[in-house]
Structure formats: structure tokens, C-alpha cells
Chain A
């Protein structure tokens, strides 16, 4: 029984592995630091791992990153749990990260947040049943002059209005349809 379990575990571990291209990028990241200081690459490598493995960091993914950087798993866990951009739970295909801090608030972010909740029928922190969208409320993203705003992946969506939110939802829904 124990043996079967460990074989199962090993198989699972093997599914978490950078492909050739991702490994090359990982090596490029590590090479930016002096020898023996490969731990410095932890934040960028975690970004790479999150992008490579379904948009979140499972324990298996973090253990894999630890092995790649030759550091202890705990060193990865404590960092991954500190920074807000790392998702420690599964998320939807697209994460709407809507800013709610002062400058966005005075420019009407409350209304936008309420509207997105209504349109997607989820609360902050939740994912839609179809697994396409996650709504996350975040603190200042440095787009105060272009408020209200949200981030979707690498992209900033700024000067949000209800109409723009509708268009953004449609845009990503069709992207998801193409992917699936």
C-alpha cells in the first residue's frame, strides 16, 4: 500500500517539471546572480512556475522549485505565502484583480467592483462555476491616474466603466472558448 502510494506520488511529481524552453528561461534567471546565490532567483522562478503550471503554486510545484534552486521547501513556502501575486489555491483561467485603494476609490472603483460581482455572479476571492473567471480585490497597482482599473494577467485595463467591463468579460469569454 505504502509502496503504491509513493509510486503514485512520484508520478505526480514528474508531471510538475519545466519543459525545455521553461528550463532554459529558468537557467537564464539563475545566471543573473553570483555563484552560490541562486536563491535570489526564487521570485522570478516562482513567477515562471505559476505561469507554467495552471496559474497557481501547489505544494508539489513549490517543492519542485525548491529542488531546481537547491534550497529547502520551507524557504519556498515562506516566500510564496508572503507575496500577494502568488496564488496558493487554484484560480480561474483569467483573474480580474480590481484595485480598491484610495485613489481608485475616489474615482468610483466601488461601483465597478459591485458591477463585476453582479455580472459574474461571484464574490471577491471566488471563481465562476465554469472556471473562467476569478475576482480578486487588490491594493494599489500604480495606475491611480487612470482609475478605476484592474489587472488581467500581464495587462492593465484602465479608465473602467460598466460598458468597458462588459466588453472585457466578452473578450475573455471568447478567448476561453477558443482555448477550451
Chain B
């Protein structure tokens, strides 16, 4: 079902190699962009396409590009954010592993549009074998004249370099990534100045996610207007969803953002239903940072309408009853899963990954982990729930970068929707160590006020 723009060729044997990729129509967008278009007209097409950043924030990509400063004589850089580290997210890995040339194609066109002669891919350190795949693809692209000096005789020079990170979630934040690319600790910078004005080595820089950049080729080939016709409303084009957790078919799926959440979970084409015949209890639909939703609010909005897999519908109801599209990391929890334990592992993750610059995040993530561990191990008291709520509120919005928010939201949402499960843990310290709260009322139809 639906259109595929990114993964349509993913299953062609040998598509990872240049020859097969080119035979299947690859690099056409580079020819079109470099020979027939100007940097300005490319930015215009991307604006028209409505493409939103696929890393998690969903900021319009064309708009971001138009902010780049162009001071005379100062080099500009495009940086590809391949530091995919948000728990639940493994889509960029899939793209780079199987379709490295699709990313390179997007990178060359985007580099031309932004005027970047040296473009960097910053990839998370653990993806070491993917670094080798990308290096190999870059070599092939060089050998065939798509990279290097005077590409296609247009006078445009471009080199792409791959840099491995070394294990730090925070480097997915664009200014921390830039710091890391400069050989520093991944401490986010205070903004402004934004990277578009002063980024890598104080030069104007655009940082885009892998999936965002891989979408540029298809947009140039079909035109921004055509791309914008796919999807619905401000959720244009296609989106990769990495589905995981207690489902029958975990994996990376391309959707056109018109499918309902229910169909996505239960259809055989996608998740294939809940594993082992269990029932759906909860889901984190956009990577671990976004609010967790109980089954009933996941499938239907608070207004009782069907919820769809797109930016607007997933966030319908705000944080009170909705969530976010985020990075597309779709984590499904079945009836046997304990929300307290799940929240505890996520809190531990954010404590581990906090860079330590801002006190609310550095201290707050540590406290949240400790309190959640206390509740999880049957040693919690009722006041701990309010204390957790208080801590997360004091982190959110009070830090240099969004890691603070990302740490606060999962805790807030878990308490908001699953408070009785927390209370059950506290009231049943022994029982909670040997059994689970279970599904309870979390899949019951929600009461819709008339």
C-alpha cells in the first residue's frame, strides 16, 4: 500500500553497488540539479515539497536551508547527521546500509544547493561497518565522476567525508555534533548564533538528518509540487518508521502518512500485530523521548477520531492526550510490559547520556533514575510520584538543548497516563516484584465528551 520513494529499490539485488544503483536510475537528480537548476531553484523545490526534518523536530527543510548565511569568501558546509541514537530508531542505519548511494545522491544535490565543497557525514561510532559501506560508496562515486573536482563539467567541486562518533547520544543535537566534529566533547552550544550563521569552524553550516537528505533526490526528480501531493496536510511525502518491541514483524517501513495507527500495527504489510497473541498495552510512537500513550489513546484521539501515522494526527491533543511523530521510532509494548520498569530504563538512558553542562538535566536525570529504580524495586513511597512530576517539570525548558525535554517527557507521560500502575507498585511492594499490573483499563474505549 502507498507510495515508496526511498525504499522502492531496496530489494533489488546488488543495489548497494554503484553499477546496479545507476542502472536502476540512480544519480539522475544530480544531473538534473547541476545541469538544469540553480542552487536557488533547488532550495525553492525543497520548500515547495514541504519536506520536514526527519530527525525528530520536523522543521521544514527548505526553510532551514534558506537561513544559511553567505558571507563573501567564507566556505559553507553541509553536515549529514547520521548519529542515530534515539532508542527505538534504526531507520537511518537501514538507509545507509542498503542504499548508500541514495544518501550520496541527496548529499551531492544538497551540497550544490548550499554551496558546500566539503560535506561531512557524522555517523555514530557503533555503526562501524556502515562507515565502511559509505566509504566504499564514496570511492565508487568518485571513480564515476559524481564527486571530486568539476563534477559533470559544471565547475562544482564536492568531497564527502565520513567521521565516526564515539558513543554519545547528545551528538545527535546539531551543535553538539558540530563540537564533536571539531574534536571536542559533545557539549551543545548556546543558540544564537545558529549553525546557519556560525557552525562548523564558525562557518555557515546546515545539519540535516540522513532520511531528510535521502529524500532530496526523489524531490528533485519528481518536483516539489508532486512530492507535496503525497501524504496529508503538512505531513508531505513519505516517512520511514522503524517498528520494534512486542510485534510480529519488527523492521523499517516506508509509509505515505495516510495510514491509521491501527492498520500500521495490525496489518500484515507492516507490524503484523502484537507478538504471541498478546494484547496491545502502550506505545511510544516516535522514539523514546516522545510521550508514551496507552492503547486507547494511541488508536483514537481524545475526540474519538481515528489516529493516523502523521505529524498532525500523532500530536493531536497535545501532550495531554497525544504524542509526536518524532524520529519515527515506533516502540510497541504488550500487556505483559511494566510501564514503571520501561520508564526506569529510559530514565537511566538519559542520565547516562546527559552531557552534564546544565544542572537541571545533569542532576534531574540522576534523581529521576534513582526514584524510578526505588519504585521499580518495591521501595517507593506515594510522595515519590509527585516528586518525579516536580523534577521533570523543573528540567523541561530549562536547559541549553532539548535533551532535558527529551528526558522529562517520557517520565511525565508515564505518570500522566499510568499513574495507577505507579501507585500499584508502591502499594504492593512484594507482589510487584513477582507479577505485573497487566493491561487493566488501558485498552478500554475512551469516554468522549458529547
Contact = CB atoms under 8 A, between A and B. Distances in A.
Interface in A61-110: 69, 71, 75, 78-79, 82-86, 100-103, 105-107
B443 interface: no
B165 A83 contact: yes
B87 interface: yes
B374 interface: no
Given A43-B163, A107-B245, A102 B88 contact: yes
A141 B128 CA distance: 11
Interface string B61-105: 000000000000001000000001111111001000000000000
Contacts of B86: 140
Contacts of B242: 144-145
Interface stretch (A6-14, A33-41, A122-130): A33-41
A82 B353 CA distance: 10
B168 A102 contact: no
Nearest to A79: B185
Contact of A102 (B126, B167, B288): B288
A103 B85 contact: no
B149 interface: no
A106 B245 contact: yes
Interface stretch (B301-309, B342-350, B398-406): B342-350
B154 interface: no
Nearest to A159: B250
A164 to B, nearest CB: 17
A106 B124 contact: no
Main secondary structure of the interface of A (DSSP, over half): mixed
A160 to B, nearest CB: 14
Interface residues on A, range: 35 or more
B245 A84 contact: no
Contacts of B118: 32, 34
Contacts of B75: 34
A123 B86 CA distance: 27
B184 A79 contact: yes
A151 interface: yes
B362 to A, nearest CB: 13
Contacts of B334: 106
A84 B86 CA distance: 16
A5 B382 CA distance: 61
Nearest to A43: B166
A27 interface: no
B183 A42 contact: yes
A29 B405 CA distance: 35
A83 B167 contact: yes
A43 B88 CA distance: 26
B163 A102 contact: no
Given A102-B349, A142-B126, A83 B245 contact: no
Most buried by B among A34, A79, A139: A139
A138 B245 CA distance: 18
Given A101-B345, A144-B331, A151-B126, A37 B182 contact: yes
A144 B90 contact: yes
A61 to B, nearest CB: 15
A112 interface: no
Interface string B121-132: 000111111000
A140 B250 contact: no
Contact of B345 (A39, A71, A100, A144): A100
Contacts of B166: 43, 46-47, 83-86
Interface string A137-166: 011111111110001001110000000000
A131 interface: no
Interface string B320-331: 000000000101
B264 to A, nearest CB: 14
Contacts of B126: 85, 141-142, 151
Contacts of A39: 182-184
Contacts of A140: 85-88, 169, 288, 349
Contact of B244 (A47, A147, A156): A147
A100 B163 CA distance: 26
A109 B352 CA distance: 18
Contact of B346 (A44, A46, A102, A138): A102
A44 B163 contact: yes
Contact of A145 (B164, B252, B355): B252
B333 interface: yes
A69 to B, nearest CB: 8
B89 A139 contact: no
Contact of B168 (A40, A46, A84, A143): A84
Nearest to A84: B167
Contacts of B93: 142-143
B345 A102 contact: yes
B358 to A, nearest CB: 16
Contacts of B184: 39, 79
A139 B345 CA distance: 9
Task: For the complex of A and B, list the 10 residue pairs with the smallest distance between their C-beta atoms, beginning with the closest.
Answer: A42-B183, A83-B166, A84-B167, A145-B250, A85-B167, A39-B183, A144-B244, A140-B87, A82-B185, A32-B161
Interface of A: 32, 34, 37, 39-44, 46-47, 69, 71, 75, 78-79, 82-86, 100-103, 105-107, 138-147, 151, 154-156
Given A85-B126, A140-B85, A147-B244, 5 more contacts: A43-B166, A86-B166, A102-B288, A139-B348, A147-B250
